[in-house]
Chains A and B, each alone.
Chain A
Amino acid sequence: MDNGRILQLVTFKVGNEEFGVDILKVQEINKMMSITRIPNAPDYVEGVINLRGKIVPVVDLRKRLNFPKRDYDKNTRIIVVELDGMILGFIVDSVCEVLRIPESIVEPPPSMISGIDSDYIEGIGRLDNRLLILLELKKVFMEHEKNKIREIGES
């Protein structure tokens, strides 16, 4: 993958793993705010928030990636992203930094990483002694999502 390109990422933590998403997808990062739960929605959909008058659905990344449950604390953040014109938020344990890494250090995902379905992973960034998991947001939000929603409608 060596073509000298630089990736700019927002990195954040869920559990002990460090993740990164393309900074261009990120609209804003918010502190935890009051969330209205939606009945009959998939369980990892935490609910909806009021983002300056816009209703935005929020997904709990912990639940989505099958991490054990944990209470929200002062470090909890909602990262708001835009995907194909939809505004969505996802909850992470904490946000770390903005990082620039050369694309060349990103490796394709191994088949299985700490229980996370490797479908969600775009690649693994190897930095000194850290491992950075690059999330494929589209897959995190969409693929299984759509099926689940359909299931709810049909069940």
Chain B
Amino acid sequence: MEGAAFLSDELREIIAEFVLESKELLDRATNDVLAFEKTKEEELINNVFRSIHTIKGTSSFLNFNNLSKLAHVSEEVLGRIRKKEIRPEKQVIDVLIESFDTMRAIIDRIEKKGTDLVEIDGLVKKLEKISGGENGDIQKETSDPLPEEKKETTEMKSSEIEEQTIRIDVKKLDELMNLVGELVLGKNRLIALNQNARVNGLSEKLIDSLSEVTSYIEFITNELQLSVMRARLVPVRKVFNKIPRMVRDLCGEFKKEVELRISGEETELDKSLIEALHDPMVHIVRNAIDHGIESPEERIKKGKNRKGLLSVTAYNEGNHIIIEVFDDGRGIDTKAIREKAKEKGLISDEELSSMSEKEIMNLIFLPGLSTAKTVTKISGRGVGMDVVKTKIERLNGQVYIDSEPNQWTKLVLKLPLTLAIMKSLVIEKDKELYAIPLNTVSELVKLKEEDIKFVDKKEVIVLREKIIPVLDLSSVFGRDRNGKGCGYLVVCNVEERQVAIKVDQVIGQEEVVIKPLGEFLGNIVGIGGATIRGDGRVILILDISSLVRAYSLSHQKRTHIS
């Protein structure tokens, strides 16, 4: 195997498939091994054995000899564990996982360069030693640095390319096929009607059948849209699968003890969301273990269970899916956040004093704010949480945090089911139409000028004894106020904060297909994209959180607009 360039198309396709399949098998094997370490259930080790065996078979068929050799020696070890000839101690599991990691690195290399030339001798020796039964010696060697390749593995992981293929349930495809069939029928009826109209002219009867066909086609189109969307849905398991392994590593790194509970992994999400969710989840889990959960000694002192609890849950809520990451650790220190925000000059004193505890907690999503005292590999550099936030917002999602000091922290991600279609509220302001994502809208209030009060020269409105800042699109967008209509306030919830947006008229709820503005225009503050309405006009979709950020920052020192 010299390189990808020399492979025939057919072979390349087979290899691409092999890469995809092996990655899945390795993910599964890693999780099964970890579960086995805990439960010692025999079925689990059998599963691992089967996964690795498949990789061994296919890779030797494809002449990836290094990979098949590694798979072979790993299989030997697994076989002896299965026959209970070796005890699955931690160092054995460690080596197995190292070997799975290396296999993954080899597969990555095959994917990129078409070759499996990776140095594996050290690892093979280690595995052989284990299967040879010399259980005692390996402990020293597990700390051996795997030369070069190991380093490359970690780099590769961060630059992982998005998979362009999707595995789809045949049932979903059948559903699509059925709908397309219906659509063809509708089309035929339309053609017949058209011919009829040509010959006989428009009669009342014809118009009736025409409107019937129209509503029929409308129905089918909607169903088709939904089905295609569903076809793109993938269980969130794909992201969650990586968590057990991560938790195990992190526990080792930070000397913590954690019990992990995962539920709702069958909840489905759009494929593109799944891909984009990976990095934020890494940050969140790291944060929870590094900063949230205390060391065993500290926990015992506090009267808590020695093992910390980390639970990751996914579930549907209307048109959204919610992912909750809960830990029963030390919670969020709002005092530290206040001090830090003041020290860095991110928020003015008055504003700090007017904020609720919950609002303060959510300041941890601001760039440059990290309350961690020590800097660790990933968390604690003041980048983590704001990265999470920007990533989630880019997916039209929201993220917020809740906590009880010394009891627990709960991080909630709220994501749309799909990226392409969104429910929105269409409004008019200064004779232009805009769409506001409906998931941010909490209520509509009729605007009476006398209700608007001023605090610190800023417009606010008091709604059920709560002071809500008012945002005028005309001034944010630099437009002349020339709107007609009596005026409403659209109250939006973003990041646990509320803001009321002044609009002239409310047109109504509409489902919109989000289209990007394109790289030429780049990021425009306050605009999340555009959509085309039924009449062919382009309207802009507002990005409320970037609007709010731009608006509140315009009153202070501008630090950062992403």
Contacts and interface: CB of A to CB of B under 8 A. Distances in A.
Interface of A: 34, 36-41, 45, 47-50, 53-57, 86-88, 141, 145, 149, 152-155
Interface stretch (B27-35, B222-230, B451-459, B514-522): B514-522
A53 B432 contact: no
A145 B522 CA distance: 10
A86 B518 contact: yes
B127 interface: no
Interface in B351-371: none
B221 to A, nearest CB: 14
Given A48-B530, A50-B538, A39 B478 contact: yes
A52 B526 CA distance: 25
Contact of B532 (A39, A50, A152): A50
A39 B274 CA distance: 32
Given A54-B515, A55-B538, A57-B520, 6 more contacts: A36-B538, A39-B477, A49-B538, A50-B536, A55-B516, A86-B520
B524 A41 contact: yes
Contact of B539 (A36, A49, A153, A154): A36
Contact of A39 (B527, B530, B561): B527
B525 A40 contact: yes
Contacts of B532: 50, 53, 55
B198 interface: no
Contacts, number: 73
Give the interface centre of B522, B523, B561 by most chain A CB atoms within 10 Å. B522
Contact of A38 (B515, B527, B561): B527
Contacts of B476: 39
B537 interface: yes
A24 B353 CA distance: 62
Given A36-B538, A37-B432, A149 B517 contact: no
23 contacts: A34-B536, A36-B537, A36-B539, A36-B540, A38-B517, A38-B524, A39-B478, A39-B526, A40-B477, A40-B478, A40-B525, A40-B526, A40-B527, A48-B517, A48-B538, A50-B536, A50-B537, A50-B538, A55-B532, A86-B519, A87-B518, A152-B524, A153-B522
B360 to A, nearest CB: 28
Interface in B497-543: 515-527, 530, 532, 536-540
B140 interface: no
A41 B536 CA distance: 22
A145 B520 contact: yes
Contact of B525 (A49, A50, A54, A153): A153
Contact of B540 (A34, A38, A88, A154): A38
B237 to A, nearest CB: 35
B171 interface: no
Nearest to A42: B521
Contacts of B478: 39-40
Contacts of B518: 55-57, 86-87
